[in-house]
Structures are given as C-alpha cells and as structure tokens.
Amino acid sequence: MATTDNAFNGMTEHCEECELDTLHEVNVQIRTESLKKENAQFSREPYRVTECQRCGNRKSQRMNNA
C-alpha cells in the first residue's frame, strides 16, 4: 500500500530490490501497445510507473486490463 510522505512529491512504497519501504517517484504514462502504425492511435493504455529513489529500480503496471 502506498502512503504519502512529507518529503517532496513522493510516495513511500515497498521496493522488492531494497526489501524496504522507500521513497518512490510515481507517475502515469500513456503507452502505445500496437506495433502497427495504422492501429497505434487505438492501442494507447495507461501505465503506473514507479521508481525507487534509493536504488533506481523501476516497475510498471498496466492500469486498464479491459
């Protein structure tokens, strides 16, 4: 479970690499999943991307599993 932290613009989450709850930068990215140019505009999906501020480990998770 993510919690807010008094540090600037960050979330505290469990890092699998550090095995600790550490400060993470969290954002949402829109990614194109189709490799076909004609379908690219219809294949964009939101992903939640986190990066550990201690070790740099990045993790992404697709937000829409429809």
Amino acid sitting at position 42: F
| Residue ranges making up the domain that contains 57 | 3-62
pLDDT in the model for residue 27: 93
Number of domains in the chain: 1
- What is each CA distance from 25 to 9, 31, 58, in whole angstroms? 7, 18, 9
pLDDT digits (tens, 9 = 90+) for 4-63: 555 455 679 999 999 999 999 999 999 988 888 887 778 889 999 999 999 999 999 999
Indicate the pLDDT class of residue 2, thresholds 50, 70 and 90. low
Distance of alpha carbon 19 from alpha carbon 58, whole angstroms = 14
Does the pTM surpass 0.85? The reply is: no
Question: Could you tell me which of 14, 9, 45 has the C-alpha nearest to residue 27?
Answer: 9
Q: What are phi and psi of 62, to 5 degrees?
A: -70, 130
